[in-house]
Amino acid sequence: MDHFLYRNGQLHAEDVPLAEIAASVGTPVYVYSAATLLRHYRLYDEALAGMPHHVCFAMKALSNLAVVKLLGDAGAGADVVSEGEYRRARAAGIPGDRIVFSGVGKTRAEMRVALEGGIRQFNVESEPEMDALNAVALSLGTVAPITVRVNPDVDARTHAKIATGKSENKFGIPISRARAVYAHAAGLPGLKVVGIDVHIGSQLTELEPFESAYQKVAALALALRADGHEISRLDLGGGLGIPYARSNVAPPLPSDYGALIRRTVGDLGCEIEIEPGRLIAGNAGILLTRVIYDKAGEGRDFLIVDAAMNDLIRPAMYDAHHDIVPVIEPDPDLDPRAYDVVGPVCETGDTFARGRMLPPLAPGDLVAFRSAGAYGAVMASEYNSRPLVPEVLVQGDRFAVIRRRPTFDEMLARDTIPEWL
Ligand code: LLP
């Protein structure tokens, strides 16, 4: 459930008409609903009630400071994968002891910043990384808490570009080598082993892959404890999928996922950490865009909108589906038409949808790409020298620009022409 609904014939974000935001901020623009973000965070929090747990929002999905502060104030921690995300989490007020640091290629500089600033744990992904972290921690006279990310060799049954839990993927250490790797960690005085980490992929629409992975983690936890390691935390990653098309069967709910966690690892007495991104942010955001032209092609109609692949790359990159809805509620008596919905960027990949059935639309009309809150604005670029898309947060009847649209002068001012040219 989200808070983008028609009221009096107009699509709203909570109590604010989207047309009002378009008039004030311009288009394209991302619009987020605070109530939806908080609702999704709380669903996870409730799903894990009764077990000691931390919901660490995967900031890669949506890292705007205002959004991170909203979630952090509600109790969320953060899963970060770069110094930039770490700095954002701290700037948004999330304390270091609620931040986990993931990622396959952390640099020593990033490790230093997190150790100095405070960190709950590093999720380490290789022995070389372990050695580097050990050296950095010792140089700072401290000890780094770690989990080791294991690769359980489980098929997440999701898009190949976002599956991470098979042995051929670059992530984690093979679970078959886990005991040897933990023994290596135990010999490094700058590290303190606190648990196990696993993340098998994103946009999972079934629970079975999680179940197989978590069962393997539970067995490993017992084996590692028998070897003398402290396993007091399990970081179970993110990955639960969302319904992108209203017509689709809905994926399992956080409550189903919570029951699965309880069933597979609940009796180990560990603190449970999860790293959801998409489910919290995805359906809490839309990309609002305006139709520029309706162009008749050979046997097809192109709807050219002012958002493009640089603003929302998911359709071009993953063939992702986003529902497209007009901001004026369509008249049910009008027959829908098939449109190819495209942006102004000069490549054919700049296509949001092909043959999409929509009510008749005309230049100037506003439409919203739904489910665009996660991996939308964060993956935007200035390709074709289109200024970075702005972001707006709505709460109740108020809204605020939480990242403004850069001016063309600002965009140009970032480049420098060498004096010798
Ligand atoms: N934890 C780790 C270690 C991850 O790598 C990810 C996502 C998450 C948590 C959060 O997963 P989520 O709950 O959001 O599924 N750009 C792609 C998605 C990439 C996901 C990468 N890792 C897309 O637009 O579909």
Q: Is 137 exposed, middle or buried (0-12, 13-18, 19+ CB in 10 A)?
A: buried
Mutation choice for ligand 1 from 37, 202, 242, 319, CB with most ligand atoms inside 8 A: 202
Q: What is the CATH number of the domain that holds 184?
A: 3.20.20.10
Residue 170 structural domain: 103-274
Over residues 334-359, the mean pLDDT reads 97
Q: Is the CB of 162 under 6 A from ligand 1?
A: yes
SS3 assignment, position 149: strand
Quick check: 288 pLDDT over 80?
yes
Report whether 291 contacts 362 (CB < 8 A): yes
Distance, in Å, from the CA atom of 297 to the CA atom of 279, rounded to the nearest integer, reads 37
Distance, in Å, from the CA atom of 384 to the CA atom of 387, rounded to the nearest integer, reads 9
Distance, in Å, from the CA atom of 48 to the CA atom of 55, rounded to the nearest integer, reads 9
Q: What is the CATH number of the domain that holds 406?
A: 2.40.37.10
Residue bearing the CA closest to ligand 1, atom 6: 238
Distance of CA 203 from the midpoint of ligand 1 (Å): 8
pLDDT digits (tens, 9 = 90+) for 179-205: 999 999 999 999 999 999 999 999 999
Q: Is the CB of 276 under 6 A from ligand 1?
A: yes
Q: Is residue 45 part of a domain?
A: no
According to the model, what pLDDT value does residue 296 have? 93
Quick check: 247 pLDDT over 90?
no
According to the model, what pLDDT value does residue 166 have? 85
- How much of the chain is helix, strand and coil, in % rounded to 5? 35, 25, 40
Q: 366-369 and 324-326 as β-strands: parallel, antiparallel, unpaired? A: antiparallel
Q: Beta strands of 34-143 (E only): which ranges? A: 53-58, 77-80, 99-101, 121-124
Quick check: 415 pLDDT over 90?
yes
Catalytic positions, written as ranges: 346
Peptide bond into 406 cis (omega under 30): no
Mean pLDDT over each residue of the chain, to the nearest integer: 97
In 93-126, which positions are buried (b, 16+ CB within 10 angstroms) versus exposed (e)? ebebebbbbbbbebeeebbbbbbeeebbbbbbbb
DSSP string, 272-294: EEE---HHHHGGGEEEEEEEEEE
With tokens 């009221």, the residue in question is: 7
pLDDT digits (tens, 9 = 90+) for 61-83: 999 999 999 999 999 999 999 99
Among residues 232, 137, 125, 209, the alpha carbon closest in space to that of 169 is found at 125
Q: Is the CB of 198 under 6 A from ligand 1?
A: no
Q: Is the CB of 282 under 6 A from ligand 1?
A: no
Supply the DSSP symbol for 201: B
* 250 and 306 share one domain: no
According to the model, what pLDDT value does residue 174 have? 96
Distance of CA 395 from the midpoint of ligand 1 (Å): 26
According to the model, what pLDDT value does residue 249 have? 82
Q: Is the CB of 277 under 6 A from ligand 1?
A: yes
Mutation choice for ligand 1 from 60, 79, 166, 322, CB with most ligand atoms inside 8 A: 60
**pTM of the predicted protein model:** 0.98
Q: Is the CB of 203 under 6 A from ligand 1?
A: yes
End-of-domain residue from the set 274, 294, 326: 274
End-of-domain residue from the set 221, 240, 274: 274
State the first-to-last Cα distance of the chain, in angstroms, to the nearest integer.
Answer: 56
End-of-domain residue from the set 274, 297, 314: 274
Residue bearing the CA closest to ligand 1, atom 19: 162
Distance of CA 59 from the midpoint of ligand 1 (Å): 9
pLDDT band of 246, cuts 50, 70, 90 = confident
* 252 and 294 share one domain: no
pLDDT band of 163, cuts 50, 70, 90 = confident
Quick check: 1 pLDDT over 90?
no
With tokens 């109530």, the residue in question is: 35
The atom of ligand 1 lying closest to the CA of 275 is 9
Q: Is the CB of 201 under 6 A from ligand 1?
A: no
Q: Is the CB of 145 under 6 A from ligand 1?
A: no
Name the percent of the chain lying above pLDDT 90.
94
Q: Is residue 247 part of a domain?
A: yes
Residue bearing the CA closest to ligand 1, atom 16: 375
* 244 and 393 share one domain: no
Over residues 25-49, the mean pLDDT reads 98
Distance of CA 155 from the midpoint of ligand 1 (Å): 15
Q: How many domains does the chain have?
A: 2
* 254 and 303 share one domain: no
* 134 and 18 share one domain: no
The two structure tokens encoding residue 223:
């084996």
Q: Is residue 90 part of a domain?
A: no
According to the model, what pLDDT value does residue 191 have? 98
Q: Is the CB of 275 under 6 A from ligand 1?
A: yes
Report the 10 Å Cβ neighbour count for 368: 22
Name the percent of the chain lying above pLDDT 70.
100
